[in-house]
Chain A
């Protein structure tokens, strides 16, 4: 594995630990706030039928609900954060590889959700999205999707470049050590389609 990716992996693991310990601390604080008498005492909402409230409070207090909501929000924030951002060494690696194969001047737009869009000549583009430790335990997998292509024998062209075609897009899952060579093949396949 590439040095940058090793760094990114270490960073990813480190962040996980930090996030977990932060969650523990924040969870404890929230527990203290909601369950110490007199700090927060949520009144039942007015619009709620009072019979329901009485029945409900036998099972759980409104503070309990608020506590679990707070915990849920923390977990949600963490998962959004990991979904949205790639550790920066991995982003540098990805950009470097894509620039290396498609030229230093190529325009790459990075967007939230670990996605990259490479603009090619003639209005075509390639979408590259990265997943960290996806299924099967492989670190840093990429999914390559080309822009919509039209022409004859697309299926055969896709197969001959080690890809499959889905709704008119060349598509493939590649691992990090294949990113370079298979992006090259994808670009070649798109040139082939455009030339015909």
Chain B
């Protein structure tokens, strides 16, 4: 017998799974990386290193990141004309679940991501 709360969680996880698998490699990698390092935010250059993006980070901004922002999956704050801070939208009904799971079970991965970010 599953309780109401468990059913809600299961439904959210199902929908999250569906959402994540509907996205392409780049977007999925961005959300996973940002979900793990939450509540930290990253710059475009750091993000492209985290996801192993070979192109210029500027081309990320004009395509993928803008579209993710339109769909309210990530939040982008412009700190200076050239520096942006990018973080996952924790208020998103499904990505909030992702963040919770990453925080609960993803400590090792998080430390790997953080280490990758520090190296210059």
Contacts and interface: CB of A to CB of B under 8 A. Distances in A.
B55 interface: yes
Contacts of B21: 181
Given A136-B59, A136-B62, A138-B63, A162 B23 contact: yes
B55 A159 contact: no
Nearest to B71: A164
A122 B24 CA distance: 30
Grouping DSSP codes into helix (H, G, I), strand (E, B) and loop, the B interface class, with mixed when no group exceeds half, is helix
Contacts, number: 62
B45 to A, nearest CB: 16
A: interface residue count bin: 20 to 34
Interface residues of B, number: 24
Interface string A137-165: 11001000000000000001001111110
Interface in B7-38: 15, 18-19, 21-24, 27
A38 to B, nearest CB: 51
A177 B24 contact: yes
B70 A173 contact: yes
B88 interface: no
Contacts of A141: 63
A172 to B, nearest CB: 6
Contacts of A162: 19, 22-23, 71, 73
B107 interface: no
A178 B59 contact: no
Nearest to B70: A164
B22 A172 contact: no
B62 A178 contact: no
A156 B19 CA distance: 14
Given A162-B71, A164-B72, 9 more contacts: A135-B62, A136-B66, A137-B59, A161-B15, A162-B19, A162-B73, A172-B67, A178-B22, A182-B23
30 contacts: A135-B62, A135-B66, A136-B59, A136-B62, A136-B64, A137-B63, A138-B64, A141-B63, A156-B93, A159-B92, A159-B93, A159-B94, A160-B19, A160-B93, A160-B94, A161-B15, A161-B19, A162-B22, A162-B23, A162-B71, A162-B73, A164-B71, A172-B70, A172-B71, A174-B67, A175-B24, A178-B23, A181-B23, A182-B23, A185-B19
Interface of B: 15, 18-19, 21-24, 27, 55, 59-64, 66-67, 70-73, 92-94
